[in-house]
Amino acid sequence: MHVLVTGAAGSIGTVACPGLLDRGHTVSGLDRVPEPEGFTGRWFTADCADPDAVEAVFAELVRGGGLDAVLHLAGRPTESSLPEALESHVLTTAALLDAMVRHGVPRIVYASSNHAVGRTPRRDLLELAARPRPDTFYGVAKVAAEALLSLYVDRYAIDAVATRIGSFLPQPESVRALSTWLSHDDAVRMFDACLTAPDPGFAVLHGISANTRGWWDLEPGRALGYVPEDDAERFAGRVAADPARDETEAAHVGGPHVTEAFVRPALDRAVGA
């Protein structure tokens, strides 16, 4: 399968690209910044929020033999103002979806986030049926991007899988991450499963490893063929407890994003600059 990975120079992209190559896929990379050292496929330095730039990339890839799927990782992984968040997550997704429709590319796998439901209080099991409940403008933009994917699945002959990623890290660094960790290897397993699952239509899953302390339902991922193998628990002895912080972070899905530190005006463009 030929996959265009956006945000290919980022922390997840630099793990996903070689991982998908190892699994037999052909990988082309796109990012606002030049290709990282060691990248072996075709590279496009472009802004995903610019529809003309995205169209040029698709036209070139389709001319060069076709494209089967997009793995959309490009985007700012932190809080910002609402306009910045919408551009980074919704407009980029829109430009890619329009190009997919024009060029007949049938599947997109999206890096959504737990922050789409971050204000959901802690419960025994976080099910996907939880209503969209963002904790930040970042989370609002992820909810909107998921809604856009759903709309395009209903309107056009494409499949879209949104992965609500927890904490993508080499290893967990906080007590919260002992339940929300997504290991590098499991991330590759997850993306591969989402790219190749037969006829998912519009689907959502929790992007975490098989953590002993995990409380987000793993069944939606398993239904798509994502079977996580790693468990954050093996790092538990190396994670320093911080009782006040840990208790606050354990209260909601979104952990620290639910604290006062993230409460700010929606249109304050200086935020996150």
Ligand X SMILES: NC(=O)c1ccc[n+]([C@@H]2O[C@H](COP(=O)([O-])OP(=O)(O)OC[C@H]3O[C@@H](n4cnc5c(N)ncnc54)[C@H](O)[C@@H]3O)[C@@H](O)[C@H]2O)c1
- Binding-site ranges for ligand X (CB under 6 A): 6-7, 9-13, 31-33, 47-49, 73-77, 88, 92, 111, 113, 165, 167-168
How many Cβ atoms sit within 10 Å of the Cβ of residue 33? 10
To the nearest whole angstrom, how small is the minimum distance from the Cβ of residue 172 to ligand X?
11
Whichever of 31 and 249 has its CB closer to ligand X, that residue is 31
To the nearest whole angstrom, how small is the minimum distance from the Cβ of residue 246 to ligand X?
18
Whichever of 74 and 218 has its CB closer to ligand X, that residue is 74
DSSP state of 241: P
3-class DSSP state of 121: strand
User: DSSP states of 177-229 as a string?
Assistant: HHHHEE-HHHHHHHHHHHHHSS---EEEEEE----TT--B--HHHHHTT----
Active-site residue, from 138, 152, 156, 226: 138
User: DSSP states of 33-64 as a string?
Assistant: SPPPTT--S-EEE--TT-HHHHHHHHHHHHHT
- CA distance linking residue 260 with residue 69, whole number of Å: 39
Whichever of 81 and 198 has its CB closer to ligand X, that residue is 81
The owner of tokens 């997009």 is 70
Q: Which of 94, 106, 79, 77 is nearest to 3 (CA)?
A: 106
- Rounded (5°) CA angle 44-92-97: 90
Indicate if 152 belongs to the active site.
no
Whichever of 12 and 158 has its CB closer to ligand X, that residue is 12
Whichever of 40 and 78 has its CB closer to ligand X, that residue is 78
Query: Do 190 and 20 meet the contact criterion of CB atoms below 8 Å apart?
Result: no
To the nearest whole angstrom, how small is the minimum distance from the Cβ of residue 219 to ligand X?
20
- Residue with the shortest CB distance to ligand X: 10
DSSP state of 70: E
To the nearest whole angstrom, how small is the minimum distance from the Cβ of residue 180 to ligand X?
9
The owner of tokens 């994917």 is 149
Residue 217 Ramachandran class (φ > 0 left, ψ -120 to 50 alpha, else beta)? beta
Whichever of 111 and 161 has its CB closer to ligand X, that residue is 111
To the nearest whole angstrom, how small is the minimum distance from the Cβ of residue 110 to ligand X?
8
To the nearest whole angstrom, how small is the minimum distance from the Cβ of residue 157 to ligand X?
25
Catalytic residue numbers read 138
